[in-house]
Amino acid sequence: MSKEEEYTSDSGSDFTEFWIDWFLGTKGNEYFVDIDVEYITDKFNLTGLYQEVEKIPQVIDVITDGLKIEELTDEEREILEFNARLLYGLIHSRYIITARGLTKMLEKYKNADFGYCSRVFCQLQHLLPVGLSDTTGVSAVKLYCPKCEDLYNPKSSRHSLIDGAFFGTSFPGMFLQAFPHLVPQHSTERYVPKIFGFNLHDYSKIARWQELQRIKLETSLINKGINTRNVPNGFKINNEENEIDDEIDGN
């Protein structure tokens, strides 16, 4: 029996549908799409994964219904279930950049299954999942906004536990290349903090300039032998205000 035949079950698809449906229906796995069994059992799509997942033939049987896990011990079942979720995630990152996988992710994107951008000026732009590394255990999945081109953490703590390698670093780029009509027009709006109508940056700059002028004025008076403690506050304020007015008028 060939490896491919070994991976393919003869017992029908009842358990296949059960395992994949169970996995996709588990809370926290809403970002995933269902992978075609033919894609999972294709040896070419498993290239490089034998070093990352143990007992791949058995694990694939768990996913595709070829192994009756109820006959295993609790320890064996736990190990195989863990490896099955790991293998499914790793294959998932490859599947979603295929033509069929991109189409399935498109439906989830349209339904906003990955959420909306929390930035106000992005106006509820739909997000895309992305990994910061293609290696497992490095970083959790992030959400990419095509409008502001920034990354965000998932709002749900369940989603924040998903490994980013299960979506890979290339997915958003491949997705927008495949569906260029979905590339949004970038927002040029930016929020500028204000204090009483003045931009915060300009206000702070004027405040620092005022303080510098006050120090210069006080230093000049001291050098002339004038005790600044006996100078009315109004004298110094008026001089500062006049200098500021002159500076603003000059600009």
Cα 9 from chain centre = 37
Residue with tokens 């491919």: 4
136 touches 86 (CB < 8 A)? yes
Task: Mark the ranges of the chain whose per-residue pLDDT is less than 50.
Answer: 1-16, 232-251
Q: DSSP assignment, residue 35? A: P
pLDDT at 203: 62
Q: Which two tokens stand for residue 188?
A: 């040029």
CA quadruple 224, 227, 231, 233: dihedral sign: positive
Instruction: For residues 34 and 20, give the distance between their C-alpha atoms in angstroms, rounded to a whole number.
Output: 7
CA distance 107 to 1: 38
**C-alpha dihedral (85, 87, 92, 93), degrees to nearest 10:** 120
Residues near 150 by beta carbon (within 8 Å), at least 6 away in sequence: 119, 144
Cα within 13 Å of Cα(64), Cβ side? 24
Residue 3, both tokens: 């490896």
pLDDT at site 178? 96
Question: What is the 3-state composition of the chain as percent helix, strand, coil, each rounded to the nearest 5?
Answer: 55, 5, 40
Give ∠ CA 141-144-145 in degrees, rounded to 5. 155
Helices (H) and strands (E) in the chain, counts: 9, 5
- Distances, alpha carbon 27 to alpha carbons 126, 157, 248, in Å: 21, 11, 60
Q: Give me the residue spans of the domains in the chain.
A: 19-182, 187-236
Per-residue pLDDT tens over the stretch 79-98: 888 999 999 999 999 999 99
Give the global pTM: 0.70
pLDDT recorded at residue 134: 95
* CA torsion, ordered 45, 49, 53, 58, to nearest 10 deg: 40
Q: What is the pLDDT of residues 125-172, one digit of tens each?
A: 999 999 999 999 999 999 999 999 999 999 999 999 999 999 999 999
Q: Does domain 19-182 bear CATH number 2.20.25.20?
A: yes
CA angle 164, 165, 166 (to 5 degrees): 90
**Exposure on the CB side of residue 218, measured as CA atoms within 13 A:** 12
pLDDT of residue 102: 97
